[in-house]
Structure 1
């Protein structure tokens, strides 16, 4: 595992365990099993580290979407399918543990929410150009987002349900039932 990933994972775990106000660079370095100097080499401030947590979450999600897009034929609903499959993957692999820490960061650092607003605006543009009617696109988008946030908040374990529900929605689109 790369040092930066170790740092981000350590920060995520500490935020969840101790709360964002109790997280220090020293604690993150100790949890990541590196020196504080090693941490500061990668992230000069706690705020820079928190920003990277958010940027990395979006980047990893977009990489998964791109991978799914490359593995399937283009056409109607291709982006929605890739978005749904990337969501399922994130939930099933437990990627939301890092993302759960993001909720805490938003409360103390509202400027970081701008990173997410930009990401969501970009994703919405892709949905708008995906060839689906707005109801199909919105249903898939909001089911994905709702399941992701439920999993992230730890309110319920939805992995199996999420995968089944989203695959059923995608199958309906494939059959043209949304037209």
Structure 2
């Protein structure tokens, strides 16, 4: 394959290639998420992510100065995805009371059948053990609760969300056993409780 060349015909070296920091950052996040989903969060290392993304270790460290910073960025990205999923679900729900709770339950159950291949499952252990990730989760949840206090502050709806969290925790702690004990049809039970 011939080397790339500039409009003037001169070869373009890596040093003269147009830098695309947002694309590199996105690739690093995606590669870290893939590693977590395939092998668990403990498999996320600076070297493993750099190798998978095809960048140098220094290139990765330019974007994320530590493994913890990379994990936090992956988790923040996952929360943003969950936020968008919840907003899409809420947009299709005509009943205001409990709308956030129902969307939250659906999001909690959305990838349960993936089991250990779920990115949420892969990051669950890290959430428990990493204070920075717990702080991100708490901040996200506090923000959502402030936005939806009027429609979803009822104690019964809080109990429904806590039950969904309990299923998530059982899945995390018991792997396949959680799914057997609390089947996917449990989602319908929680959704019905959030409609009453």
**Above 0.5 in TM-score?**
yes
CA contact (8 A) 2:28 2:50 kept: no
Segments of 5+ residues of structure 2 without an aligned counterpart are 1-25
Aligned to 1:9: 33
Aligned to 1:151: 171
Deviations 1:18-74 (A, max 9, x none): x46xx53112223x2522255345434322201112212221211111010011214
Report the structure number with the largest CA radius of gyration.
Answer: 2
Q: Distance in 2 between matches of 1:131 and 1:33?
A: 41
Q: Distance in 2 between matches of 1:137 and 1:35?
A: 46
Which structure features the higher share of helix residues?
1
Compared with structure 1, are the counterparts of its residues 127 and 90 closer, same or farther at alpha carbon in structure 2 (3 Å cutoff)? farther
The equivalent position to 1:29 in structure 2, one of 12, 36, 50, is 50
Aligned to 2:149: 128
CA contact (8 A) 1:69 1:79 kept: yes
Aligned to 1:52: 73
CA contact (8 A) 1:79 1:126 kept: no
Compared with structure 1, are the counterparts of its residues 14 and 24 closer, same or farther at alpha carbon in structure 2 (3 Å cutoff)? farther
Q: Secondary structure of the residue that 1:158 maps to in structure 2? A: helix
How many residue pairs end up in the alignment? 168
Aligned to 1:142: 162
Q: Distance in 2 between matches of 1:131 and 1:77?
A: 5
Segments of 5+ residues of structure 1 without an aligned counterpart are none
Q: Distance in 2 between matches of 1:131 and 1:29?
A: 42
